[in-house]
Structure 1
């Protein structure tokens, strides 16, 4: 099926997911064990067919009488998981584990029985999958963090356990429509937050994209349908552009005498949606919708292709990445470039060898891939043990589960940039990293002593975002200690954890005293006393070794007093529906300090913030990424580490949205209705530009928090008459015009 046909089918599915049950007479015949054996035999002629038959028979017998939510026999699920792994050319042990992965958890079978029947290797793999299944990763942050740590530590024994679990989740997401709506939402959120980025980090990009799109279908079906409809409209206008660009590339390769395989494909709806949310680009930019791939024989040919493409079409500045000379940690190698191709449209092209392509498709799983009955010898495949060690070594010493969760999520979600030390050593960092991250990546001691940085010989602020290939020199000084504002500037989990740990140790006594006072007031507000016994009990319930540890975290604003009260007296703590007082919306101010939101960045609850003290005029609160903060880089004494009060905020936080809408009857009214449907109020509206076919306007909307803002933006983005919508931030607005709230 071509891209247009696939997306047309997706649009139909998005508009009518609940298809009528198919009559039993017309149902397709379920695959058999012989079908699976033929699939494995195609890439591994030496497969142990008898082992697979015995595992199939054992699993089928153990699950006999069990049904899935859809009414199908339960064993259809393990069989489907095995076929998914066979598509990845996995070894016999992994295929058999897939067939048996639910037997210990859901049937009378035991680990000892599995070991007797199939050997210790398979028994250990099945037990590993069973333990991962028991973890039950949930949305609760503390439990999720703890389980995430266990998941990563479990993988250090055998990564195939995670490969089976990912295939298990993929099949469950493919068949999720049979589950209750609340269970669908829970599983989809887990998939989006945990399993999809994990698959991506392991290099299995195809699985990440499919998992994301299946979760997107559950979590935001209207947005997905909108993307598909808009794509089909563009596809009709572009007139089969994929085939034309593929033909252009093939003709170019033939003229250059390069033997190459050229393919093109449309990106998944969620991938397109994510780009629309994160990049200020029009939907019709082809580089965000289509991907083209050129696969050649050698690395030298890759660079020949790159030269030919850049000679034929104009390269787009800033859209070139060479992952051949600087591979990703999961072994991924490829050249990415974007050019202004046919009719001036921007086109993304990936160039790689066949070996590189195998790793790009299978990721870390390429280590187990088989070809012609033997394990593939792919020099680019990463040793799973080394990969896992890189992912876990920096987190083993940390005692804070939430630090670990934040760090691992950043590790999995972020792409990488590669910077150099003055001596030429390469330091890989997540995209968006700063000189502070660079310093801590070298050594914690260097990070603690950092007072400045030079990038390519030029002194830059510490919040500067680093780019590929830059040379970074860290300036240190004796006696320097980490600043509280660094937590918001740093990106890597390693840097954040080290900074927080240093701040806690340095200010521990002061924080304990402050935490004790905060606890006293919070307990008195509910008619209780913050006794030593009460604080020790709360500390144990929240995972701290001693009451002083809890008070130190409370004083450093890492937890709130209401959280402590809620642990002991859940019925007396603030109800979810109660609103945070506007005067107490920001935590970290002294009792006599007033505050105001900076009009240049308009921060809202839920976003990371920092305060700038205005002499005699209170404190102005900025978003941590506000460009206006640059002018205070040399005035650290004016910076305050702030955060928003936990709870429900009133819809009084005005945010300006910039929109481009069609100039048609009723369009503006529809936009206003959409905003109102999200329980948001329009406080002002002005037109920036009026054209015969469109209007550009600024709309001031009163919101509760960042989540409320996201809902409004999502609703507007999904409207077909809204061609673009984004948050409007004006650095020309002076914070001096902000009136601090008492």
Structure 2
């Protein structure tokens, strides 16, 4: 078969001014910052795109080419370079027309073709919501962004124009696209510092999703009372007068809240419309950084500042490159006045984010530039993607990173790390390095020793204390915030848990095979491989781990391995009970495969038995546990277990303590437990009247002797009427 040649781009002449439609004239007006030769190149791209899309229309009935030109106009208003505008005009051609990547590369250059190809791949992504979006789709977006950030700029502009023309879609499509915009694209624009695009996407998404709510709030914002307008003018005039006296060149803008920001604040902070709107906002633009701080002093001298509401994002920029001074003042009538102070360059970056890199070259390549920070964020997400155990886990991490509400912490060397709000010292440890997090045991915050679950405040100095013997604990997942920490902990726990599961599974299968005069090593290789193949295990370790986790019964596996391949296994019973004299010894170091029943809370020294539970491995119970009666119904799941001579770690236990109901009784009991070197996990009242209180203390002990010592110390107290182990 002869190879099919890619259709070449026809050598059509560049259209003159008279032949230009109105939408192209508006686009060229927005792109007037480009040179004549570049404008001619854009016209050529339009002619090629119009020919390729000939006969195609949008749902509104307009020629399809009007959409890519409108996307290019959005980018021209951001003053993007000519390659980005060319790619925007041609961004739908590869997927929807006969035009090929090779033809675009030969006519407009490899860079334009790469951008068009990247956007084409993104167009195939379908996000229903954050939970349902596949990690593979998001990975493609990240990879395209990591090669050239202009790909996501084109995609965001494409989404913005689609939202502006959403009325032509069906009601169901409007809802789906609006939700997708609010949940995926607006947060990405925010994370990249593109506040103008983000704000419009949020407003259009809100209008499409909740048209009635949007209309009501928008009407209320526009019909502000005369008194409020007069007060805003008075505050603005006062600030302008004071700044002029200090001979500070400035521009002042009053900031009007958008319907979306009002709506989200009303919902998240449970405030009324009047409470949300009772805040005046002003932005002061100055010529130099030094004058920003000078103007801040002027503002604080004019109106009293609200304590603890000052933020310096100039010295410590946000993760998306945003820089500004934020303060809140008491207005003339007591209303809060929010003031932002920044330079013209900072204002440009705040509004356009990474797009400012192409339109404002001075200083845009520094370490704090929005573009370098965006690349660092994307690189971090790609690293997390490779370590994530599942698509949902990866997307869970991305959700955290899409919200740039941050706390800024200092390392002992003075380095600044930006973390999501409410991050803990352990999150900080993993932000420094994965090995630091894995070996963390405690932290010092401003020199004070604190637990790893402590959440440091903005600007505090954090030092992590490590130990080589320390390993991640499952409880850490309950309080870490960042996706990097969560992924690293899970990965390490899986590694440790898998190794322990393989070892325990080997021991359990060996015990079962011994009753058949065999062992794992003596099973014929052909039998073993046949069994693994039939049950879709890639290797023996996977089978052993499954046995330890209770997903396969060791007795049934032993019967299959010691007999002929394909042996019919018994449906019920038929399992080989573990030998009583050959028990599995518990050392306390097993993780994930041996757990302890919450119903009886066994500790070293108790007479115990194990119950093989699907998905949980071996669950250890005391022989006097009230649930033993139920477990007797499944004797094939019993596992003979015992305590090793040397057991490590602390074990949960519970005490029922009756005390005189008088002040200080609880404190005296707690002190006695602490003196016995036992930690108190939780305390709750079981009963309480005027004279007597019955409390349940959850404590941690090493063994039966330790808990007996705790009970003796508590019994000696005069306020204690009785103690018993639960």
TM-score, length basis structure 2: 0.65
For 2:482, the equivalent position in structure 1 comes to: 492
User: Does 2:299 match 1:309?
Assistant: yes
Distance verdict in 2 for CA 1:281–1:57, change over 3 Å? same
Query: d(CA) in 1 for partners of 2:161 and 2:438?
Result: 47
- Report the 3-state secondary structure (helix = DSSP H, G, I; strand = E; otherwise coil) of the residue aligned with 1:318: coil
Query: d(CA) in 2 for partners of 1:137 and 1:534?
Result: 38
Structure 1 gaps, min length 5: 1-28, 517-530, 540-544, 556-587, 596-611, 618-630, 640-742
TM-score, length basis structure 1: 0.64
Q: Is the 8 A contact 2:388 2:491 kept in 1?
A: no
Query: d(CA) in 2 for partners of 1:130 and 1:210?
Result: 24
Q: Is the 8 A contact 1:504 1:552 kept in 2?
A: no
Per the TM alignment, residue 547 of structure 1 is displaced from its structure 2 partner at its CA by: 7.7
For 1:38, the equivalent position in structure 2 comes to: 29
Task: Give the number of equivalent residue pairs.
Answer: 526
Match of 2:369 among 374, 382, 389: 382
Per the TM alignment, residue 292 of structure 1 is displaced from its structure 2 partner at its CA by: 1.5
Match of 2:654 among 606, 615, 623: 615
For 2:384, the equivalent position in structure 1 comes to: 395
Report which structure shows greater RCO (CA 8 Å, sep ≥6).
1
Per the TM alignment, residue 326 of structure 1 is displaced from its structure 2 partner at its CA by: 0.9
For 1:132, the equivalent position in structure 2 comes to: 122
Q: Which has the larger radius of gyration?
A: 2
Per the TM alignment, residue 293 of structure 1 is displaced from its structure 2 partner at its CA by: 0.7
- Report the 3-state secondary structure (helix = DSSP H, G, I; strand = E; otherwise coil) of the residue aligned with 1:173: helix
Per the TM alignment, residue 138 of structure 1 is displaced from its structure 2 partner at its CA by: 3.4
Query: d(CA) in 2 for partners of 1:178 and 1:232?
Result: 27
Per the TM alignment, residue 356 of structure 1 is displaced from its structure 2 partner at its CA by: 1.3
Query: d(CA) in 1 for partners of 2:439 and 2:71?
Result: 51
User: Does 2:453 match 1:466?
Assistant: no
Per the TM alignment, residue 501 of structure 1 is displaced from its structure 2 partner at its CA by: 1.2
Distance verdict in 2 for CA 1:492–1:60, change over 3 Å? same
- Report the 3-state secondary structure (helix = DSSP H, G, I; strand = E; otherwise coil) of the residue aligned with 1:615: strand
- Report the 3-state secondary structure (helix = DSSP H, G, I; strand = E; otherwise coil) of the residue aligned with 1:317: coil
- Report the 3-state secondary structure (helix = DSSP H, G, I; strand = E; otherwise coil) of the residue aligned with 1:348: strand
After superposition, residues 530-609 of structure 1 pair within 5 angstroms as 536=536, 593=599
- Report the 3-state secondary structure (helix = DSSP H, G, I; strand = E; otherwise coil) of the residue aligned with 1:428: strand
Q: Is the 8 A contact 1:511 1:554 kept in 2?
A: no
Q: Is the 8 A contact 2:501 2:545 kept in 1?
A: no
Match of 2:358 among 356, 362, 368: 368
User: After alignment, is 326-335 or 82-91 more displaced?
Assistant: 326-335
- Report the 3-state secondary structure (helix = DSSP H, G, I; strand = E; otherwise coil) of the residue aligned with 1:307: helix
For 1:106, the equivalent position in structure 2 comes to: 96
Query: d(CA) in 2 for partners of 1:399 and 1:548?
Result: 24
After superposition, residues 317-396 of structure 1 pair within 5 angstroms as 317-369=307-359, 378=364, 382=369, 384=371, 387-393=374-380, 394-395=383-384
Distance verdict in 2 for CA 1:534–1:204, change over 3 Å? farther
Per the TM alignment, residue 245 of structure 1 is displaced from its structure 2 partner at its CA by: 2.9
Per the TM alignment, residue 615 of structure 1 is displaced from its structure 2 partner at its CA by: 2.6
For 2:494, the equivalent position in structure 1 comes to: 504
Query: d(CA) in 2 for partners of 1:252 and 1:183?
Result: 52
- Report the 3-state secondary structure (helix = DSSP H, G, I; strand = E; otherwise coil) of the residue aligned with 1:413: coil
- Report the 3-state secondary structure (helix = DSSP H, G, I; strand = E; otherwise coil) of the residue aligned with 1:292: strand
Distance verdict in 2 for CA 1:327–1:532, change over 3 Å? same
User: Does 2:166 match 1:179?
Assistant: no
Match of 2:197 among 207, 225, 231: 207
**1:439-493 deviations in Å (ceiling 9; x for gaps):** 1112222212222223223333433332221111223334222222221211111
- Report the 3-state secondary structure (helix = DSSP H, G, I; strand = E; otherwise coil) of the residue aligned with 1:418: strand
Distance verdict in 2 for CA 1:386–1:282, change over 3 Å? closer
Q: Is the 8 A contact 1:260 1:294 kept in 2?
A: yes
Per the TM alignment, residue 101 of structure 1 is displaced from its structure 2 partner at its CA by: 0.7
Per the TM alignment, residue 226 of structure 1 is displaced from its structure 2 partner at its CA by: 4.7
Match of 1:80 among 67, 70, 73: 70
For 2:156, the equivalent position in structure 1 comes to: 166
User: Does 2:83 match 1:96?
Assistant: no
Q: Is the 8 A contact 2:129 2:183 kept in 1?
A: no
For 2:445, the equivalent position in structure 1 comes to: 455
Distance verdict in 2 for CA 1:547–1:456, change over 3 Å? same
Per the TM alignment, residue 546 of structure 1 is displaced from its structure 2 partner at its CA by: 6.8
Per the TM alignment, residue 323 of structure 1 is displaced from its structure 2 partner at its CA by: 1.1
- Report the 3-state secondary structure (helix = DSSP H, G, I; strand = E; otherwise coil) of the residue aligned with 1:463: coil
Query: d(CA) in 1 for partners of 2:276 and 2:317?
Result: 26
**1:576-635 deviations in Å (ceiling 9; x for gaps):** xxxxxxxxxxxx99876499xxxxxxxxxxxxxxxx988379xxxxxxxxxxxxx99998
Per the TM alignment, residue 637 of structure 1 is displaced from its structure 2 partner at its CA by: 8.8
For 1:644, the equivalent position in structure 2 comes to: none
Query: d(CA) in 1 for partners of 2:549 and 2:355?
Result: 41
**1:146-191 deviations in Å (ceiling 9; x for gaps):** 2112211211111111100000001111111221222222212221
Per the TM alignment, residue 51 of structure 1 is displaced from its structure 2 partner at its CA by: 0.4
Q: Is the 8 A contact 2:388 2:487 kept in 1?
A: no
Distance verdict in 2 for CA 1:399–1:487, change over 3 Å? closer
For 1:418, the equivalent position in structure 2 comes to: 408
**1:700-730 deviations in Å (ceiling 9; x for gaps):** xxxxxxxxxxxxxxxxxxxxxxxxxxxxxxx
Match of 1:273 among 259, 263, 266: 263
For 1:119, the equivalent position in structure 2 comes to: 109
**1:8-38 deviations in Å (ceiling 9; x for gaps):** xxxxxxxxxxxxxxxxxxxxx9733233223
RMSD, aligned α-carbons: 3.7
Per the TM alignment, residue 62 of structure 1 is displaced from its structure 2 partner at its CA by: 1.6
Structure 2 gaps, min length 5: 1-19, 507-530, 552-593, 602-650, 657-670, 683-726
After superposition, residues 9-48 of structure 1 pair within 5 angstroms as 31-41=22-32, 43-45=33-35, 48=38
Query: d(CA) in 2 for partners of 1:469 and 1:497?
Result: 26
Per the TM alignment, residue 421 of structure 1 is displaced from its structure 2 partner at its CA by: 2.1
Distance verdict in 2 for CA 1:264–1:504, change over 3 Å? same
